[in-house]
């Protein structure tokens, strides 16, 4: 027992008298300064007036046990979930907010908040569609551009006039293929067809895998022109003209070194020759 300022305090004994008031803690009733407050019981007596909260009953009547119900407003984490939740709240506000005593300005604030996010979400989704389409266009352009430059890089690096210094300016780096000797391809042959195609074949003659073979052709004027490059030992020329004699040869190229040309093979794409043309020399 402790006496403070004329009051009595029973600590740990539940009852406390302070300044003429009585407080029953843990018992649901509080007497403070001449006022009686029934906590958890639904009634409050203030200044001689009786306030019935949640129960319209006589204080002497038996009070039913109060049922507590919790409500929660959960915002999802996803954008679509947030949009659905805000839209639901906006719809509820449009139906009932004014009935709850709020004014039109309050309703406008809620509607604006929900609508603003919905508008931005739709704009974002539209932008994503545009972005995905743009990415697709970019990837297609990338593939086409890379293929074009790859073909030209192959042409440049096999050009006999391209020195290592010149190749470096194109960003073409030295090959990791073992240097070794570069020899002229052997066993070179050509199989012509009347439709203007010609299949060329040759042997590596000791050149290692990864060696580039440069195919050249010449017409009757004797001027040699580049046809194509390949790392295989066979190639089909599909752009020869029927009725015209054409001569082929092939060189090996690796690590900046180019071999002398193979023996030449001349063929004649005869019109009306059937499947095959004429191999004039080997």
pLDDT tens profile 152-162: 888 887 787 88
Q: For residues 117 and 96, what is the distance between their CA atoms, to the nearest angstrom?
A: 22
- Least trusted range by pLDDT, from 11-25, 122-136, 223-237: 11-25
| Cα distance between residue 281 and residue 174, in whole Å | 37
Read off the pLDDT of each residue in 2-21 and give the average, rounded to a whole number. Answer: 50
Tokens read off for 180: 């070794």
- The predicted pLDDT at position 176 comes to 59
Burial of 75 (0-12, 13-18, 19+ CB in 10 A): exposed
| pLDDT for position 9 | 54
CB within 8 A of 142, min separation 6: which ones?
none
For residues 241 and 1, the model is more confident at 241
CA R_g for the chain? 48
What tens digit of pLDDT does each residue of 39-88 get?
A: 444 444 445 454 544 444 444 445 555 556 778 888 888 999 999 999 99
d(CA 159, CA 70) in angstroms, rounded, equals 82
The answer, yes or no, to whether residue 109 has pLDDT greater than 90, is yes
CATH of 186-279, one of 3.30.1360.200, 2.60.40.10, 1.10.10.10, 3.20.20.10: 2.60.40.10
The span from the CA of 232 to the CA of 187, in Å, is 14
Residue for token digits 């508008």?
119
Burial of 254 (0-12, 13-18, 19+ CB in 10 A): buried
Work out the average pLDDT over 83-112: 92
Angle CA 90–96–99, to nearest 5:
140
User: Within 10 Å of residue 22's Cβ, how many Cβ atoms?
Assistant: 15
pLDDT at 195 over 60: yes
* Residue 233: Cβ within 10 Å count: 18
Residue 91 pLDDT > 60:
yes
Write out pLDDT tens, residues 219-272: 888 899 888 999 999 999 887 777 788 899 999 988 778 899 999 998 876 544
């Amino acid at each position: 027992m402790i006496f403070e300022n004329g009051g009595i305090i029973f600590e740990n004994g539940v009852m406390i008298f302070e300044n003429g008031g009585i407080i029953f803690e843990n018992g649901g009733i509080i007497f403070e300064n001449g006022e009686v407050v029934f906590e958890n019981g639904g009634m409050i007596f203030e200044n001689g007036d009786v306030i019935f909260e949640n129960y319209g009953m006589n204080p002497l009547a038996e009070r039913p046990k109060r049922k507590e119900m919790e409500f929660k407003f959960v915002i999802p984490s996803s954008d679509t979930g947030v949009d659905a939740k805000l839209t639901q709240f906006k719809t509820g506000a449009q139906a009932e907010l004014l009935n709850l005593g709020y004014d039109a300005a309050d309703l406008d604030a809620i509607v604006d908040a929900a609508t603003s996010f919905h508008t931005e979400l739709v704009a974002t989704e539209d932008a994503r569609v545009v972005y995905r389409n743009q990415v697709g266009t970019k990837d297609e352009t990338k593939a086409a551009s890379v293929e074009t430059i790859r073909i030209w890089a192959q042409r440049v690096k096999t050009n006999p006039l391209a020195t290592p210094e010149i190749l470096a300016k194109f960003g073409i780096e030295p090959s990791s293929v073992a240097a070794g000797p570069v020899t002229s391809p052997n066993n070179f042959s050509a199989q012509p067809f009347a439709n203007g195609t010609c299949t060329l074949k040759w042997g590596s003659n000791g050149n290692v895998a990864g060696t580039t073979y440069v195919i050249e052709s010449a017409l009757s004027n004797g001027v040699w022109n580049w046809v194509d490059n390949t790392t295989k030992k066979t190639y089909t020329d599909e752009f020869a003209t029927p009725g015209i004699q054409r001569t082929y040869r092939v060189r090996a190229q690796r690590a900046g070194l180019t071999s002398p040309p193979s023996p030449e093979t001349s063929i004649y794409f005869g019109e009306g020759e059937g499947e095959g043309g004429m191999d004039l020399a080997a």
